[in-house]
Amino acid sequence: MTEYLAVDGGTIAYEVTGSGPLIVLAHGMGDSRAAYRAVIPPLVAAGHRVAAVDLRGCGESGADWPEWSRTAIAGDLLALIRHLGGPAVLIGHSVSGGAATVAAAREPSLITSVVELAPFTRKQSVRLGDLRVRRFRRGMLRLLGAGLFGSLPLWRSYLDLAYPGVRPADWPERLGRIESLLREPGRMKAMQGMGRSAPTDAGAQLGNVRCPVLVVMGTLDPDWADPHAEGSAVVEALPSGLGRLEMIEGAGHYPHDQFPDQVVSLVLAFLRSDAARA
C-alpha cells in the first residue's frame, strides 16, 4: 500500500513490507520503486522491514521540485528513515548510490550500512580510450540524447543496452510502466534534472562515511568503460576498511533487476558480516 510523507519541497511516496531491522530501497533516475519488486520479498523473508521509496519527481511522489541533486535526494531519504524510526540499511541505485553516500556522511546515527548498486558517486571523466569501448560509447550517446532532448525513445534504447542478456520475466510490463510514468507531467523533467546533477557532492562526502559500504557493479554496465575500475575507485575513496566491491558477471546497469537473487545474497552476506564486525 502506498503511503506518503510530506518533506520540504513536496511529497514522497513509499511502501513498507515486513518487520524487523529496517532496509530502505532507493531507485535510479527515470524509474520507480518497482525496480525492486523482485528484491523485496526475499529481504522480507530474511527478517527485514523493507521500505521502497519513489524518489522526488518519480513514481507516485510529487513531480514539481526545486532541486534534483544527490544532496537533496539524501535529505528525502533521511526524512523517511526518521519517520519510520531508523536506523536503517540504505540501498541506492545509480543516482541514489550517491545520495546514500551523502546521507550516511550527514547523519551517521541513522545509517547502519550502505549498499550502492552501479552508483554515480564520483566526479565523472571520459578518457579518449574509453570511447573505444563500444558498449560505453553507445550507452553514453543514448543517455546524453535522452537527457538533452527529453526523448523517451532514446531512453528506451538506452535501457536496451543497460539490460544486456538476461531480462526480467515481466520485461514488456516493466518497460510499459517506465514509459507510462515518464509520460506523466513533470516526470521527464525530473529525469533530465537528475541527469544534469553532477555527483561531485557525493564524491566530496566519501571520506566522511563511517559505516560499512558494499558496492555492486555489473561487468557489462554501459555507463562505464571499466565498471570494475569505477567501483574500485569508490571503495578506495572511502575510509580504509569500510568498503567492499562485488562484481556480477553479465549484469548491466540494473543488477538488482537482472539478477535479484545474486544481489539479495550479496546484501544479506554483507549485512551478516557487518553484524559480526559489530
- Looking only at the bridges linking them, the beta strands covering 10-17 and 49-53 are antiparallel
Instruction: Print burial letters for 226-261: b (CB count within 10 Å at least 16), e (below 16).
Output: bbeebbbbbbebbeeebbbbbbbeebbbbbbbbbbe
- Looking only at the bridges linking them, the beta strands covering 22-26 and 10-17 are unpaired
User: What pTM did the predictor assign?
Assistant: 0.95
pLDDT tens digits, one per residue of 89-107 = 999 999 999 999 999 999 9
pLDDT tens digits, one per residue of 127-167 = 878 888 888 899 889 988 998 889 999 999 999 999 999 99
Sign of the Cα torsion 47, 70, 154, 183 reads positive
- Torsion-angle region of residue 9: left (phi > 0), alpha (psi -120 to 50) or beta? left
Contact 73, 56 (CB under 8 A): yes
Contact 108, 34 (CB under 8 A): no
pLDDT tens digits, one per residue of 180-189 = 999 999 999 9
Q: What is the predicted pLDDT for the residue at 155?
A: 96
Q: What is the predicted pLDDT for the residue at 251?
A: 98
Q: What is the predicted pLDDT for the residue at 258?
A: 98
Segment 263-275 mean pLDDT: 90
Segment 63-86 mean pLDDT: 96
Q: What is the predicted pLDDT for the residue at 154?
A: 95
Q: What does each C-alpha distance from 196 to 111, 147, 232, 233 come to in angstroms?
A: 27, 8, 24, 22
Burial of 156 (0-12, 13-18, 19+ CB in 10 A): middle
Q: What is the predicted pLDDT for the residue at 76?
A: 98
